[in-house]
Chain A
């Protein structure tokens, strides 16, 4: 629909708006995401090393570290800290496993008001669901090609 009054096309207007809109502070956001995401990774590594030091197998140690991080994400979400952290850290707190935990717990809190089955239960994976669906799908696809290549090599 063209705007007759101003003889302005939609394209003109969208370009004008894009020019006028304040952009997200990309460098600041990247730096904070790198910093916070990195800190979560360091924490995960430290936990793994500590459990390995106490003679746990590497696989077991990293599983325990993961469980602790998931708990930490859930805990920080429930005391209203993770959403504040996410405001500054962006992808830095969304991408690590703590963010996955946040997306499930936040949704669970949100939908509890519609009951435990159709509210909480049905909506818990609303935000995290796509990650699981496409994570599993892509691992199946990659696994298939891996198997295919192995047949010939």
Chain B
């Protein structure tokens, strides 16, 4: 088996699955019906991407593990999603800030991944890119509406931007796995996303009359399985069915 390709596919799958799980928590609780449907739709896109990626990771691993086993039967330290996606929903502004930061990264990321020498990753990227464009537009519109809204919505949006800012640095991190796969033409070098990401964020925050935080210390660790205290709680909810009824199928 190709260990690196397995690890890399798995972390992309984990990012998508965990963000999908977080967004799914809004189902039935969002501020308006349209947003409830909107957030659930975005969750569904991420879960769909996760399914395709987990299935492929299982094939690469070649030990017979399927999407359910990889998503629902691994332990906390085995997950390699970035810390940003596991952060709690908080208020609506925090959910939107998390989605905006992530989608502003993933749209150019998937665009580049379409040229990967790995055909399956390239095919998944071609689908995911179109979805990421909607996610970015949706979250950017909300950043502007809340930032340039009332005094309270402005304050909350600014607080959310500052709260989640330290988790954005991890998106651009490249460990040995990524570097080796970049050299083979399979992975996308996340460092090359920094400028385009920064431009998108700057433009939208400017329109939203919000301040862009200074680049500074970044909290990282998710890629090597060191997660925030919220993560174990997320897994207990997400993995409950497969833990309680192993092998359960729809």
- A is bound by B: no
Residues of A within 8 A of B (CB): none
